[in-house]
Amino acid sequence: QQQVKQSPQSLIVQKGGISIINCAYENTAFDYFPWYQQFPGKGPALLIAIRPDVSEKKEGRFTISFNKSAKQFSLHIMDSQPGDSATYFCAAPRDGNKLVFGAGTILRVKS
């Protein structure tokens, strides 16, 4: 069964710094890797996603880097802000249109 290993579990970054969260996945025949952002007491919201026909996708301050040969992908948050403090989940596809999620990374941006 597909598993996704996410690291670190928690991360503290100074305001204006770069937050980096990494995920590794196992074999998959499907190519879609989303990241979700979740604030306390809320449902996760799709933040950004990548299909590995590209190695990088940028949306504003958020960038996904994808390394297909290493089966790894990462989320970079540039110029991190206190409002970015949340839990971030990576996910990878598994048999059909289901997703398997990483365990999550709790990000705290200190002002």
Binding status of residue 35 toward another protein by CB under 8 A: no
Q: Which two tokens stand for residue 69?
A: 């040969």
Write each residue from 61 to 80 as x if it is in contact with another protein (CB under 8 A), else as -, in one continuous string: --------------------
Number of residues this chain uses to bind another protein (CB under 8 A) = 25
**Contact range with another protein by CB under 8 A, out of 16-24, 34-42, 62-70, 77-85:** 34-42
SS3 assignment, position 108: strand
Terminal CA-CA length for the chain: 41
CB 91 within 8 A of CB 4: yes
DSSP secondary structure string, 13-49? Answer: EETTS-EEEEEEE---S---EEEEEE-TTS--EEEEE
**Contact range with another protein by CB under 8 A, out of 11-19, 44-52, 62-70, 78-86:** 44-52
Nearer to another protein, 3 or 14 (CB): 3
Q: Which two tokens stand for residue 95?
A: 């048999």
CA angle (31, 8, 80) in 5-degree steps: 85
Q: Tell me how far, at minimum, the Cβ of 71 lies from another protein, in Å.
A: 18
Binding site for another protein (CB under 8 A): 6, 9, 30-32, 34, 36, 41-46, 49, 51, 89, 93, 96-99, 101-104
